[in-house]
Structure 1
Amino acid sequence: MARRATRADVTIGPPAGHVPPPVPAVSEITYKGYRIEPESYYVNNTSWSPRAVVSRKTDEGWSRQAPLYSTKTTRFATRDEADRSALDVARAWIDTAVERSRG
């Protein structure tokens, strides 16, 4: 009796539907009196979209603002790259807000 050889299926990369853990590489930074929390999100199995939340210190604590998104449609391969882009967007937004408050 001849036995037919079979090949094992091998999957490379994360399983379908796998979503990386929600813990960002950087939890938050403070810049010019504002707190920036990177919250980039997983778009699909291959990319991340940059997002950050900016908060301002008040007498009652931190006042959470609306999330900031990059105006570019660029996606990133890793959360770290997306978070770095989100931090750049947030810093630019803060620079504009600080300049406007002086004007």
Structure 2
Amino acid sequence: MTNGAPARPVLPLDPAAGEILYKGCRIEPESYHVNSSAWSPRAVVSLKTDDGWARQTPLYSTKTTRFPTRDEADRCAVDVARAWIDTAVERPRG
């Protein structure tokens, strides 16, 4: 996915490989290459709707840490997404 690409409003019902279901949300690791030797963590959290999965805003790690591999950056991104979901689930809506 590149910057400026249109957002996908609804994702397929079944998660693809590499996507994680957590507390009723879908986490898609989408870490990105920042230079020839570093990856920055990013994940997208989607919420289930009657029409499928509504794509949400990407989440970035607040840490400035970069990782030598995409897998390491994705693991960090998933941790950030899980923490965000935990906070969102605990916070009462109103």
TM-score, normalized by length of structure 2?
0.79
1:1-103 pair list within 5 angstroms: 27-101=18-92
Moved over 3 A (4+): none
What is the root-mean-square deviation of aligned Cα atoms in Å?
1.5
Q: CA deviation at 1:101?
A: 3.3
Q: How many residues align?
A: 78
| Structure 2: gaps (5+ residues) | 1-16
Which ranges of structure 1 fall in alignment gaps of 5 or more residues?
A: 1-25
In structure 2, how many angstroms separate the alpha carbons of the residues matched to 1:48 and 1:87? 14
Q: TM-score, normalised by structure 1?
A: 0.72
Report the identity percentage.
79
Paired residue secondary structure (1:53): strand
Structure in which a larger fraction of residues adopt strand: 2
Structure number with the bigger relative contact order (C-alpha 8 A, sep ≥ 6) is 2
